[in-house]
Amino acid sequence: MDRINVNKPYLPDMDRYKKYLDRIWKNHHLTNFGPLSIELEEKLCEYLGVDNLLLVSNGTLALQIAYKVLDIKGEVITTPFSFAATTNTLLWEGLKPIFCDIDSETFCIDEQKIEPLITSATEAILPVHVFGNPCEAESIDKISKKHNLKIIYDAAHAFGVKYKNKSVFNYGDISTLSFHATKLFHCIEGGALIAKDKELIAKAKKIINFGLSNSFPELLGINAKNSEFHAAMGLCILEDMDIIFQERQKIWEYYYKELKDFFCVQKISKYANNNFHYFPILLENEEKLLNVLKTLEAKNIFPRRYFYPALNTLRFNLVHQDCPIAEDISNRILCLPIYMGLSQKDQDKIIEGLKF
């Protein structure tokens, strides 16, 4: 019996990928802002409807570079309901995460709870577009302007999402993306920064190349560039995005039709489109969730407790902050398998295992 994982990375046509590899072999440019990387940046700007985009090695480094570019220090208000990288990057850079609880229906940061957390040490807000569902960006923007705070959006899941008819990446000072193999659009490994201010991208470009300017170390930097081989994969997959979205929509909508009367599902923002990246459901309680997992795993089906645990409960955080909604949802949420090639027959097996 074939194993059904929560995700299966999409691979484009091999011959098409090889044509890009032939260009690499011809010009011998393997990394360091090569022609394929530049081409991918330009095509992504056009596809996503943004002006400035910089490819980097991965989405985690994208966040760390964003903090450096904006010179963030002190406290950063963020969500406890996200992947570990959101908190890890803050702690790694010596910043202090201040956790704001989430909305119980959208799973995004509750913008109405942000202001009471702002102190004289607060320098930025780090919201997450959870499972690609946009935060209340305009409300967060008003808060940031009122208190002179920077906004960095962790937009790892939000590829192709529009908010009020424009790219969700046009909100905030910087949006960071992940192009990991499990994402809708991927480069095997990779990430990006997007900013309206081209000077921020210019500074980031120096930082990811050891801080060099014309081979001279102008500022403190690291190596966070991506290679031509990763860019080649991205260029191939970008050509297939319409097909990817169409097939994932069919899978998502079948789940929704079959399960909406049995489980709570994420409420998608009325101002945004659904990119069908994930299909999370809420179980009645953690005990029920563990029983469902046991049943599905016996059938060789492996959904994921995503995101679990709530980040405010991690033992290496300096201070525990109660976020009851995030903690509750984290304990009973399950993301179901969704990927290109998942058959309706396999979906029926998953659905059957959920309804015992």
Which neighbouring-strand residues pair with 125? 77, 151
Are residues 40 and 23 in contact, defined by beta-carbon separation less than 8 angstroms? no
**Dihedral (Cα; 353, 356, 330, 275), 10-degree rounding:** 50
How many whole angstroms separate alpha carbon 180 and alpha carbon 176? Answer: 13
Go through the chain and tell me how many residues it has. 356
In degrees, to the nearest 5, what angle opens at C-alpha 325 toward C-alphas 78 and 249? 80
How many whole angstroms separate alpha carbon 152 and alpha carbon 19? Answer: 37
Q: Tell me which DSSP letter residue 162 carries.
A: E
Tokens of 260: 């909406």
- Catalytic option among 183, 203, 225, 349: 183
Are residues 185 and 159 in contact, defined by beta-carbon separation less than 8 angstroms? yes
Phi-psi region of 95 (alpha: psi -120 to 50; beta: other; left: phi over 0): beta
Strands (E), the chain: 4-5, 53-56, 75-78, 96-99, 122-126, 150-154, 162-163, 166-167, 174-178, 191-194, 212-213, 216-217, 264-265, 280-282, 301-302, 333-335
How distant, in Å, are the alpha carbons of 72, 106, 234 from that of 36? 32, 37, 9
> Is 299 one of the annotated active-site residues of the chain?
no
Q: How many other β-carbons are positioned within 10 Å of the β-carbon of residue 127?
A: 28
How many whole angstroms separate alpha carbon 348 and alpha carbon 250? Answer: 14
* Radius of gyration of the chain from its Cα atoms, rounded to whole angstroms: 20
- If residue 138 lies in a helix (H) or strand (E), which one and from where to where? helix 137-147
Report cis status (omega within 30 of 0) of the bond before 309: yes
Q: Which residues are the active-site residues?
A: 183
